[in-house]
Amino acid sequence: MNPTNDPSLTSWVKSAQGSDFPIQNLPWGIFSTEGDERRRAGVRIGDRVLDVDALQEAGLLDAALPRRIFATGTLDAFIGLGRPIWSSTRARLSELLHEEVAILRDDPVLRTRALVPIEAAVTHLPVSVGGYTDFYSSREHATNVGRMFRPDDEPLLPNWLAIPIGYNGRASTVVVSGTPVRRPLGQMKAPNAPAPSFGPCRKLDFELEMAAVIGVANPMGSVMTVAEADRAIFGWALFDDWSARDIQAWEYVPLGPFQAKVFASSIGAWIVTAEALEPFRVDGPAQDPAPLPYLVQPGAMNLDVELEVAIRPKGASEPTVITRTNFAHMYWSTAQQLAHHAIGGCAMNIGDIIGSGTISGPTPDSLGSLLELTWNGTRPLTLADGSVRTFLEDGDTVIFTGRARRDGVSIGFGVCEGEVLSAPVRDGW
């Protein structure tokens, strides 16, 4: 076991004990404060953000680290230093936060400067997302969609069990959790309508996903094994790949999603490192037929992460949890997705993200989208305030949470949330 993952470790930051952000977690993000608008790197510990730039300026980190690398506004430069630096920096932060280490604990001036209350921190997009690819790797989700839209055919298309299916998403509209999402406009065509119409999306949906952040670049024309792809992942964050179902239904043949997926994708502010998630590796579902040799996994590649989605209508006092599922259900692992993506020679860059695809489980209460939960609007959900939903309404806030739990330790991802705003209005449209 990596020493930083030892369940017996405790921190002098009292709020860390029993929280989703114990000393075993230390997820990375970018934050600023009202009194200091510089965007800098921090890690979550309990109900605080540890200002890593402040620690470096105080001389508490490895002197070999480039100066002010944690004050660049993104994590890109730090991630680019490579896995050994990620690991040694995490180990040093764990040491400084250990209950028996007095260096930071007993320095009241630095401690006050470096430990920022979470309510005082403004989080920002943690990486510069230059590329974003979304996959379609939950067998349950793909089967449900196939049954819904191709009831007379096999629900899975012939290639689905052989290839991690994906498409290139729009990196420019990946936004950090808390950013409002505007309902998109587009073309739609009802099944029996003689012609398409134009207007606001009527079937706005969330997609419960996880985003893997690429930490090791591979040049154009090079390839990666599954094992190499696995080691190229810096960490994971919660991810909502919002979807306009009615726009998509009209446009997706023959080339797949386009306008229905470009308007917004929300990523959680905190990236939980691959190292912190090592104790939560599990085998995924049995793959039958066996994948081709370049996709064979050398070990357990899935992650046991519990996920939950809630909706809070505008004005409601409490959100309503509408689904609970687990990242472990995915048929194709992130490492397989990345290896397949690179095998054709595609360059992957630091900060690129791989969307897992909608994460659905085998039971009716473990589905990762309203499309499935309401079976395309035919089975409405009733929320705690008495309101009914088939798809999202203006003013709704969608809230994702996630955590991995074992041996009394909870490794949390925080939240990924966004409020739905009304569509833009133009005269004459």
User: Contact, 400 vs 178, CB < 8 A?
Assistant: no
Six-digit token pair at 213? 């952040």
- As a three-state string, the secondary structure of 310-325 is EEECCCCCCCEEEEEE
For residue 180, the tally of other CB atoms under 10 A from its CB is 12
Q: Which residues contact 312 (CB under 8 A, 6 or more apart)?
A: 318, 319, 320, 396, 397, 399
Of 180, 230, 206, nearest to 333 by C-alpha is 230
How would you classify the pairing of strands 381-382 and 174-176? unpaired
Assess whether 141 carries a catalytic annotation: yes
CA–CA separation, 166 and 354 (whole Å): 10
Catalytic residue among 141, 329, 340, 341: 141
Q: Which residues contact 105 (CB under 8 A, 6 or more apart)?
A: 12, 99, 111
CA–CA separation, 178 and 28 (whole Å): 17
CA–CA separation, 147 and 144 (whole Å): 5
Active site residues: 141
